[in-house]
Amino acid sequence: MIELINSEQDLARQKFEVLVPTMGALHAGHQSLIKLGKTLSDSVLTTVFVNPLQFESKDDLAKYPKTLDHDLKLAEQAGATALFAPTVEVVYPTQITKISAGAVGDLYEGSSRAGHFAGVLTVVKRLFDLTKPKYAIFGEKDFQQLFLIKEMVQRLALPIEIIAAPIIREPDGLAMSSRNVRLTEADRKSALIISKALQQSNLEEMHKVLATEPGFKLDYLAEIDEQNFGPAGSDTQYRRAIIAGWVNGVRLLDNKRMGSDA
């Protein structure tokens, strides 16, 4: 039986080796993170906290799905030991000192969502301080977020190993996301253009595919060097195409490693 934890005091009584941070509205993608965590330790803590610091608007924050009872069931099915669902007051009991995301934090997602990554890093660092895990698992779908969390851990010399988990997709190819519940049937058909575009071998062909779907509004499409998040060059060993845009006001992200190592 999974344990629901709400307070810092109850959390401090236990030790969890693996942390799987989420904002709730769990799906099979989140479950894959928990299952990966179970291969590292029997002690896996999932967190559900909708972090207000990383939303660019109060409206987007209000629309974010909140399904704690369902989250508990899915976390338990995947093998989580406990679920930590703190209030804002527990996570941020005093004045908040935000953690800078640096120059990379101003690119791509950071360019479109001012302050987003500072909010992400601030809450992740706070959750690390509260839970003190040996491992923390994050999905590759939010690839820029994953990069910045790894960079923060290295910069602050935190004794935590960050584990990257692959993107989990719906049978039709759409990357799983908690925001997908806001898509209508017609919206989902439009959203499929993202994964179709990523099947192409270069950015030019991707742009051509995206242009065929009027229901998708592109924010950015780029090929980056996974090692430094700069533009991929001819000598880049690990390159990745990253994409973001909107379908009927719902923001969607996806990415794919390119080249022979894909």
**Final residue in a domain of this structure, among 132, 165, 198:** 165
**Total count of residues recorded for the chain:** 262
- Are 138 and 238 found together in one domain? no
199 C-beta neighbours (distance < 10 Å), count = 11
Does residue 63 lie within any of the structural domains? Answer: yes
Q: What is the CA radius of gyration of the chain?
A: 18
Phi, psi angle pair for 184, to nearest 5°: -75, 175
- CATH code of residue 215: 3.30.1300.10
Number of domains in the chain: 2
- Are 185 and 139 found together in one domain? no
Res. 59 pLDDT band, cuts 50 70 90:
confident
* Given 30, 70, 116, 207, the catalytic residue: 30
Mean pLDDT of the chain: 96
Per-residue pLDDT tens for 150-193?
Answer: 999 999 999 999 999 999 999 999 999 999 999 999 999 999 99
Q: Which residues contact 202 (CB under 8 A, 6 or more apart)?
A: none
Does residue 107 lie within any of the structural domains? Answer: yes
Does residue 260 lie within any of the structural domains? Answer: no
100 C-beta neighbours (distance < 10 Å), count = 12
- Residue type (1 letter), 245: G
Tokens of 137: 């698992």
**What's the pLDDT score for residue 262?**
65
Query: Is 207 annotated in the active site?
Result: no
**Final residue in a domain of this structure, among 165, 200, 235:** 165
Evaluate if residue 146 carries a pLDDT over 70: yes
Res. 127 pLDDT band, cuts 50 70 90:
very high
- Are 156 and 187 found together in one domain? no
- Are 54 and 156 found together in one domain? yes
Q: Looking at the DSSP assignment, which residues form a beta bridge with residue 5?
A: 84
From edge to edge, which strands make up the β-sheet containing 250-258?
Answer: 216-225, 239-247, 250-258
Range of the domain at 72: 3-165
Res. 58 pLDDT band, cuts 50 70 90:
confident
